[in-house]
């Protein structure tokens, strides 16, 4: 069962719109229209994620975020009409997991909810310190990849993409899934950026990038890490 989502906004039309799209995607929705109610519901109902507007009556969203973050690691997505970089950084520095500005796409917001929840599951699960397939070794402690014992210099995003796939070998990831898991944002055009990162990753870990052994394209879908032949 999908977790409950607490939606906090003093605009009832916005709440109703978000509730409609979240429930359509299978989530249970709890609502609050002011900061005090949001704090009480978060403490008593323990939702799986909070969508939190910054401009709230009684207690503003930043103070709600600050208080709840001091008490728990519940994922928080900020929702606000404030668009300056300064406002965004304040929210993220307080511990928000993502930041969506108004006006927003309800479908994008739901995609970000899924992405934040998936990242939380991935980060909470203990994993291996390193994985070895054939001549490719990935060291998650040192954040390094080695081919035939020689370190290859991956960018942070290249390493993250490799980590996501190699930890679930054989699973096919869509470009959108990889985008959400590795980048955390659903910007227009970023799916194409995933292809560029994969091309660069292949150049660094494959002996023949044109005939990749590890990072396989699943045409019309996305990518997977092929491990069966190299265990």
Cis preceding linkage at 47, omega within 30: no
Mean pLDDT of 192-198: 86
- CA distances 151 to 59, 169, 225, Å, are 51, 21, 19
- Going by C-alpha positions, the residue among 34, 33, 70, 28 that lies closest to residue 49 is 28
Q: Report how far residue 231's alpha carbon sits from residue 229's, in angstroms, rounded to the nearest whole number.
A: 6
The per-residue DSSP string of 39-87 comes to HHHHHHH--SEEEEESS-SSS-HHHHHHHHHHH----EEEEES---HHH
What structural domains and CATH numbers belong to the chain? 4-124 (3.40.50.2300), 130-225 (1.10.10.10)
Mean pLDDT of 7-23: 95
Task: Tell me the sheet residues that pair with 152.
Answer: 145
Q: Report how far residue 154's alpha carbon sits from residue 200's, in angstroms, rounded to the nearest whole number.
A: 9
Could you tell me the two tokens for 76? 């928080």
More confident residue, 121 or 50: 50
Q: Report how far residue 143's alpha carbon sits from residue 155's, in angstroms, rounded to the nearest whole number.
A: 10
Three-state DSSP at 226 gives: coil
Mean pLDDT of 51-66: 91
Of the pLDDT bands very low, low, confident and very high (cuts 50, 70, 90), residue 82 is low
Mean pLDDT of 46-70: 90
Q: Are 107 and 21 in contact (CB under 8 A)?
A: yes
Q: Are 173 and 166 in contact (CB under 8 A)?
A: no
Could you tell me the two tokens for 57? 């009556």
| 129 alpha-carbon distance from chain centroid | 22
Q: Report how far residue 176's alpha carbon sits from residue 46's, in angstroms, rounded to the nearest whole number.
A: 29
Q: Report how far residue 31's alpha carbon sits from residue 199's, in angstroms, rounded to the nearest whole number.
A: 44
Q: Report how far residue 52's alpha carbon sits from residue 166's, in angstroms, rounded to the nearest whole number.
A: 34
| pLDDT of 227 | 79
Of the pLDDT bands very low, low, confident and very high (cuts 50, 70, 90), residue 190 is low
Mean per-residue pLDDT of the chain: 85
The whole-model pTM stands at 0.55
| pLDDT of 15 | 96
Question: For the sheet containing 222-225, what is the strand order?
Answer: 173-174, 222-225, 215-218
More confident residue, 61 or 118: 61
């Amino acid at each position: 069962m999908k977790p409950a989502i607490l939606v906090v906004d003093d605009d009832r039309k916005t709440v109703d719109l978000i509730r409609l799209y979240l429930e359509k995607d299978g989530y249970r929705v709890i609502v609050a229209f002011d900061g005090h109610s949001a704090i009480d519901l978060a403490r008593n109902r323990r939702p799986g994620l909070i969508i939190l507007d910054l401009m709230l009556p009684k207690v503003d969203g930043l103070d709600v975020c600050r208080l709840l973050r001091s008490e728990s690691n519940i994922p928080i997505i900020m929702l606000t009409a404030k668009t300056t970089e300064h406002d965004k950084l304040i929210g993220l520095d307080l511990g928000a997991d993502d930041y969506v500005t108004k006006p927003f796409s309800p479908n994008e917001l739901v995609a970000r909810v899924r992405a934040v929840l998936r990242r939380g599951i991935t980060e909470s699960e203990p994993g291996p310190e390193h994985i070895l397939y054939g001549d490719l070794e990935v060291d998650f402690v040192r954040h390094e990849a080695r081919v035939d014992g020689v370190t290859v210099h991956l960018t942070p995003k290249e390493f993250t993409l490799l980590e996501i796939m190699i930890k679930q070998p054989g699973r096919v990831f869509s470009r959108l899934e990889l985008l959400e898991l590795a980048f955390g944002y659903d910007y227009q055009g970023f799916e194409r950026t995933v292809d560029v990162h994969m091309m660069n990753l292949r150049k660094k870990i494959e002996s023949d990038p044109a005939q990749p052994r590890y990072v396989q394209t699943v045409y019309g879908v996305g990518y997977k890490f092929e491990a069966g032949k190299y265990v």
